[in-house]
Amino acid sequence: MTNSAIFFVLVLLALVAFATARQRSLRVVDGDTAKLHSLPRHYGYFAATCVLVPGLLVLALWLMFGKSIIEGLVVNGLPDAIQAEYADRITLLLNRIRLVVENASTQETNVDILAAAERFHSLYLKGLWAAFSLSASFGLVGLYTAINRTKADFRARNVFERVLNALLILSSVIAIATTLGIVGSLLFESLRFFAEVPLGDFLFGLKWSPQTALRADQVGASGSFGAVPLFAGTFMISLLAMLVAGPIGLMSAIYLTQYASTRMRRIAKPALEILAGVPTVVYGFFAALTIAPLFRDTGEFLGLDIASESALAAGFVMGIMIIPFVSSLSDDAITAVPRSLRDGSLALGATPSETITKVLVPAALPGIVGAFLLAISRAVGETMIVVMAAGMQPNLTANPFEAVTTVTVQIVALLTGDQEFDSAKTLSAFALGLVLFVITMGLNIFALRIVRKYREAYD
């Protein structure tokens, strides 16, 4: 008997419930489905839900709490001396017991522990059987109720749809909770940071120099936590990336949806999507060892002074990486525009390019803007390419030929460095994250406005 066996039994029971309820609903009306309130399969769905929900609930409770209850029982059964010895490190004691249970250790000699292991084992088995019988009987009760309620005037579809609705809401709650969790944790840690470093210094300071502030005696030294260079760097690199990905991505999407043959599109679209999946380390090496020297040599040839670590190289390669974000999502948006619009425009004598720019793109605008936003987001969030190709130097410059760094790079460096933890330095990572969040939020709201203003809703 294992947990997955319980699960299987429940699924099996649900299938039985589905079939029985469906049959029964047909029998109730002697095969004349018009007399039923809902379709026969709705009665089946309803019955399956009645079995699964209580059964899975029991299983979930067992999975969540079963183990800790057994552990508590076993530990309480041990002599006080051992309990006292492991007072604040119960998991270690439990590990000793578990090792014996699994026979992974042959070194255990303590009789009490050996006895506890024995007890643990038997309790676990008992618990498992209890969980099984409980969830199975709950399932059976559900099955019985569902079959009993299968009558011609029972509104099975409505009930089932209410369950579906609950599921939809549950999912949304998960997504929203994630959002709140992220925002909350950023906010909470940022407040701790701003207790040490004034907000003004952070937002408007022109010098980001964590190394002077890293020392314990210099925490919060004024001027070293100025985030402006980081945001300027992020802005520049994202802009460069979008200059590459925007036109190439959008034009590819247009070409593939409007001009290319179906065969070409079938090959090209997935091929471009590979670009999004190449690990960023690869892009990092590509940027640092192929593109950056290429740019430097070209620059030398043209009389420009391009540093080996330049925003240009990082931005360019990042642009390549996010092409599929723009192209694939725009592609879908353009494809989804009703064909009648396109045909209508063409029939009125517009050339394909006029149709595209004046009809298709405005109609697909929400999708296209969404694609751009996602691409920008990805560019902002990328670290590896920047670290490898543009360095980690927080320069405040508008010159794309120089080294810059981005907010995300600093966040990762601050959170994974070799330094002492719980200093203003580590906390500053959250403050950076929060400001980044606020900025992208502004961007999103702005984009929403744009879409509302220029979107042409047809159909």
Residues numbered 184-243 forming contacts with other proteins, rule: CB under 8 A: 185-186, 209-212, 214-218
Site for other proteins, residues 1 to 20, rule: CB under 8 A = 2-4, 7-8, 11
Q: How far is the CB of 169 from other proteins (least distance, A)?
A: 6
Helix H or strand E encompassing 354 = helix 352-355
Among 19, 259, 298, 348, binds other proteins (CB under 8 A): 259
In the bound state with other proteins, the residue whose beta carbon lies nearer, of 27 and 452, is 452
Name the one range near other proteins by CB under 8 A: 21-29, 144-152, 194-202, 271-279: 271-279
Size, binding site for other proteins by CB under 8 A: 163
User: Where do we find the tokens 């969830």?
Assistant: 135
Binding range to other proteins, per CB under 8 A, among 24-32, 137-145, 146-154, 361-369: 361-369
Residue 140: its H or E element: helix 111-149
Q: Based on the shown chain and the rule CB under 8 A, indicate whether residue 55 belongs to the binding site for other proteins.
A: no
311 is a contact residue toward other proteins (CB under 8 A): no
* Residues 147-166 interacting with other proteins (rule: CB under 8 A): 157, 161, 164-165
Among 61, 353, 358, 454, binds other proteins (CB under 8 A): 353
Nearest Cα to 26, choosing from 15, 37, 16, 36? 36
Q: Which is nearer to other proteins, 148 or 398 (CB)?
A: 398
CA distance 247 to 253: 10
- Our finding on whether 293 is near other proteins (CB under 8 A) is yes
Give the footprint of other proteins on residues 363-402 (CB under 8 A): 364, 366-367, 370-371, 373-374, 376-378, 380-381, 383-384, 387-388, 391-395, 402
Q: Which is nearer to other proteins, 19 or 148 (CB)?
A: 19
**If you count them, how many residues does the chain have?**
459
Q: How far apart are CA 453 and CA 459, in angstroms?
A: 18
For other proteins, the closer of residues 146 and 318 by Cβ is 318
Tokens 């995300």 found at: 408
Rounded to a whole number of angstroms, the minimum distance from the CB of residue 302 to other proteins is 18
Q: Which residues pair with 407 in a beta bridge?
A: none
The answer to whether 459 contacts other proteins (rule: CB under 8 A) is yes
Asked if residues 159 and 32 have their Cβ atoms less than 8 Å apart, the reply is: no
Chain centre to alpha carbon of residue 393: 29
Burial of residue 35 (CB within 10 Å: 0-12, 13-18, 19+) is: exposed
Residue closest to 93 by CA, chosen among 63, 106, 80: 80
- In 10 A of CB 449, how many CB atoms? 10
Closest distance to other proteins from the beta carbon of 405 (Å): 8
Is residue 111 involved in binding other proteins (CB under 8 A)? no
Cβ neighbours of 356 (radius 10 Å): 21
391 contact partners, CB below 8 Å, separation of at least 6: 309, 403, 404, 405
Residue with tokens 């005696």: 217
According to CB under 8 A, which one of 51, 232, 329, 360 is a site residue for other proteins? 329
- Name the residue nearer to other proteins (CB basis): 148 or 270: 270
**Which window, 19-27, 29-37, 197-205, 330-338, contacts other proteins (CB under 8 A)?**
330-338
- Binding to other proteins (CB under 8 A) within 433-452 occurs at 433, 436-437, 440-441, 444-445, 448
Q: How far apart are the C-alpha atoms of 158 and 42, rounded to whole Å? A: 9
> Counting contacts by CB under 8 A, is residue 248 touching other proteins?
yes
Residue 254 lies near other proteins (rule: CB under 8 A): yes
Distance CA 91, CA 75 (A): 10
Residue type, 222: S
Strand partners, 208: 225
> Rule CB under 8 A: is residue 30 a binding residue for other proteins?
no
Name residues contacting other proteins, limited to 56-85 (CB under 8 A).
63
Does 417 interact with other proteins (rule: CB under 8 A)? yes
In the bound complex, what is the minimum distance in angstroms from residue 336's beta carbon to other proteins?
4
Cβ distance 414 to 429 under 8 Å? yes
